[in-house]
Structure 1
Amino acid sequence: MRTKPADQSVLLASILLQLRGQHASSRSSLSKVTNLSPSTVGIYVDHLIALGYVNESGLEQGAMGRPQRKLSLIPDAGWFAGVEFNAERVQAVRVDFAGHKVASLVRPLPPKTNTQTVLREIRSVVVGLGKLAPGPLLGMGVGAPGLVNSELGVAMQYAFIPDWKNVPLVQELSEDFPVTVTLENNLRAIALAERWFGGGRELDDYVILGPRSGFGIAIMKNGELLRGGHHAAGEIGRWPWPLQGGGGELHDELTAPMVWRRLTGGRQDTQPMDLRAALKGLAGERGKAWDLVISDYARVIGLLHLLIDAERYFLHGPLTALGPHFCQAITEQATVIMPVLREMPPLIVPSDLGDEAGALGAASLAMEAWIPEVNGGKLL
């Protein structure tokens, strides 16, 4: 039995996550998923009700047994901010205490943006989200591109913002917002968004494919994010391309802007303002350029699948506008290039979370990191 207040706070947070994730909805179901006795669960639930975080009302009839009173989180008890950015824009969402997105903001960044501009816009969007929020800000999550040391709260580097080097992002934002600030690589944040809001709810092994202005992946293995010893797990955009060498990198050919240029045959020099819409207009095209793009993606994802063997690969970013056929064509071509995959083809699906996925994932970081206080000392 837990007796330390710190341990009890962690357990309270765990119960809230079970309710928020809809893994439990009553005292008895909480007892099953937490492996706690019904009497112990009752003490914790009563405390959460007294704090104003949980409501108990109505009756819920299960498949067997007596009807049970239903537990739910109180949406207005507080909110979480999720912020994600790249070299082109800052995206933010407000998620209520029950885990529902209730507001969003996006701010474009100027060409050749710098670190101070990004920090200023992050502060601005969080303040903007809070103007109409009914409760207090409880926590903030940030998804940053490039290499990130989440333990130290430092964004280490990002190739598309030249002066973005070892930015103490958590420290910078904590000075303005007196809550727990959590930092993660933006694609790993997206992996959490799939777990909370998308197709990864029932999966323990999946990969986020993120061909946007760069190209990286995030790996969820056995329910845990893989970060790597140098915080560089998933930086496949730095692979040599073509694979046999030649001086280039995968970033040079397979990012979303480069795919658009390849599919248009280089007919347009200026990238469209709405790249997703422009790619959607190319979804029905076929031809040599299409086949070459498919073949390149099939080679990359086929190799990934032989290495990771994930249950699913979620495609994010503007290339989702090319539709399910784009994903299916990659799978089919991968089995042609690598016949061993015919018995275990990679399942690639376009995510339906859209451009807010990174911000939603950052808010998920905040929800998972937040721990309520045990008022008045020990519960047990």
Structure 2
Amino acid sequence: MRKNPIFQRETLGAAVLHVRSGRATSRTTLAKALAISPSTTGLYIDQLIADGYLDESGLNQGPMGRPRRILTTRSDAGWFAGVEFNAQRIQAAGVDFSGAVQASVETAVPADATAESVIKSILSCVARLGTKMKGSLLFAGLGVPGLVNAHSGVGLHYAFIADWNNVPVVEMIGPKLGVPVILQNNLRAIALAERWFGRGHDLNNYIILGPRSGFGAAIVQNGQLIEGAHFTAGEVGRWPWPLGGDPKGATQEMHHALSAPATWRRLAGVGPRAKQPEDLRAALAAVADVTGKAWDEVCMDYARVIGCLHMILDTGVFILHGPLTVLGERFCQSISESACQLMPALRDSGLQVVHSTLGDNAGALGAASLAMEAWMPA
């Protein structure tokens, strides 16, 4: 076993991830996944078993060769907290060491919320989770809206909380929880939720579409989240709309036309200043069967955006999140067909749009996924 302690911790953490995900179920498959010798892998496994993180039991008989003992994570080795918030609510999820969701809590965010009050509510949510979970909290993940600097743990800007500018979130929360904390934009956190709990489990390349109060995208390429040089990768809602601009000077941003509330207004045939319904999902469900010009125009507008993204990134699949998922498979299929109609070059590209199977707690699950992926044994 190599003596570099940083390398050892990273390898031990990677070993747990491979076993937890099911990519490795034996010493042999784990050695292949880690690309290290079986003998060295055995030393790591023995240490993880001794420390109470892995179990090795039973026999798994493959089509050929000797039976292999089965590696599993120990669900009681500790737990991970995931917290995500937006302008309306804070959601938190507790996930055990094997990656199973065991508890969730939610609290409302008042209209006059400040950065300090949000931080206090996040700490309260984690404390409430702790009363429902077994074992010790190991790591906490946070999904934060707006622009974030994930490397420094700072929330850079979020328009819907007045003083949310350059908030040192990790510095404010980590010492009070007494465990490491990791921060990420909430839509990118959702991309990890898809990897662990949803349709992204077997994908290395996919894009999360997040038309909610705004419009953003989270990009996973070769299994890695793409952040960008200035942490703004995927901020497609800031594109000019229409895409070509308006020579008369009336250009707006894309999220004004394609956010979830804007999409409802267009499908419902109400004005752009119409008040958003309290239950936006129910309102969207009521127009899910609409046909005609409004539906066709919305689908074509989405097709323009998705077609451009596909031309640039050549992704495996687009996964739709947020309230628009209630529009169902018909909406996703209409977008795919409209994109290929608009851009003939896409007809053989395999472009696919699907709706997420995860619910409203996807952000909290993604934040917990951040924690699971970042954790390493002491």
> Would you say the 8 A contact 1:335–1:345 is kept in 2?
no
Please tell me the residue identity of whatever aligns with 1:103.
A
Residues 182-234 of structure 1 show CA distances to partners (whole Å, capped at 9, x for unaligned) of 00111111111111111112211110100011100011111111111111111
Moved more, 208-217 or 56-65: 56-65
Structure 2: how far apart are the matches of 1:356 and 1:259?
22
Is the 2:103–2:133 contact (alpha carbons within 8 Å) kept by the matching residues of 1? no
The answer as to whether partners of 1:331 and 1:345 remain within 8 angstroms in 2 is no
- Report the more deviating stretch, 212-221 or 41-50: 41-50
Q: Give the secondary-structure state (helix, strand or coil) at the position aligned to 2:176.
A: coil
1:85 to partner: Cα distance: 1.0
- Note if 1:291 corresponds to 2:291: no
Q: Deviations over 1:11-40 (max 9, x none)?
A: 111110010111111112212211222222
Deviations 1:167-196 (A, max 9, x none): 100001112111110001111111111111
Q: Aligned residues: percent identity? A: 55
Alignment-derived partner of residue 310 in structure 2: 305
Question: Which aligned pairs between 1:209-248 and structure 2 lie closer than 5 A?
Answer: 209-245=209-245, 246-248=250-252
Tell me, yes or no, if structure 1 residue 104 matches structure 2 residue 109.
no
2-structure distance, mates of 1:202, 1:11 = 22
Taking structure 1 as the reference length, the TM-score comes to 0.95
Deviations 1:309-363 (A, max 9, x none): 1110000000000001101101111122222212225210001012111111111
Selected match of 1:362 from 364, 367, 371: 367
Equivalents in 2 of 1:331, 1:50: separation in Å? Answer: 51
Q: Give 1:261 shift.
A: 1.4
- Pairwise CA distance, 1:118: 1.6
Partner of 1:281: 286
C-alpha RMSD over aligned residues: 1.4
Q: If the length of structure 2 is used for normalisation, what is the TM-score?
A: 0.95
User: Which residue is equivalent to 2:191?
Assistant: 191
Q: Tell me which moved more, 264-273 or 47-56.
A: 264-273
1:264 aligns with 2:268: yes
State whether structure 2 residue 76 is matched by structure 1 residue 72: no
CA distance in 1, matches of 2:316, 2:231: 23
Runs (4 or more) in structure 1 with deviation over 6 Å come to: none
Is 64-73 or 30-39 further displaced after alignment?
A: 30-39
Greater relative CO (CA pairs within 8 A, separation 6+): 1
Residue in 2 that maps onto 1:329? 334
State the match for 2:167 in structure 1.
Answer: 167
Gapped runs of 5+ residues in structure 1?
374-380
Alpha-carbon distance in 2 for matches of 1:288, 1:162: 38
Pair 1:147 & 2:151 matched = no
Aligned twin of 1:376: none
- 2:343 alignment partner in structure 1: 338
Q: Residue 163 of structure 1 aligns to which amino acid in structure 2?
A: D
Does the residue aligned with 1:208 lie in a helix, a strand or coil?
Answer: strand
**Counterpart Cα distance in 1 of 2:254 and 2:187:** 17
Following the alignment from structure 2 to structure 1, what is the Cα–Cα distance between the partners of residues 102 and 345? 46
Secondary structure of the equivalent of 2:376?
coil
Q: Report if aligned partners of 1:294, 1:333 keep a CA contact under 8 Å in 2.
A: yes
- Identify the residue that residue 118 of structure 1 maps to in structure 2: 118
- In 1, distance between residues paired with 2:216 and 2:174? 28
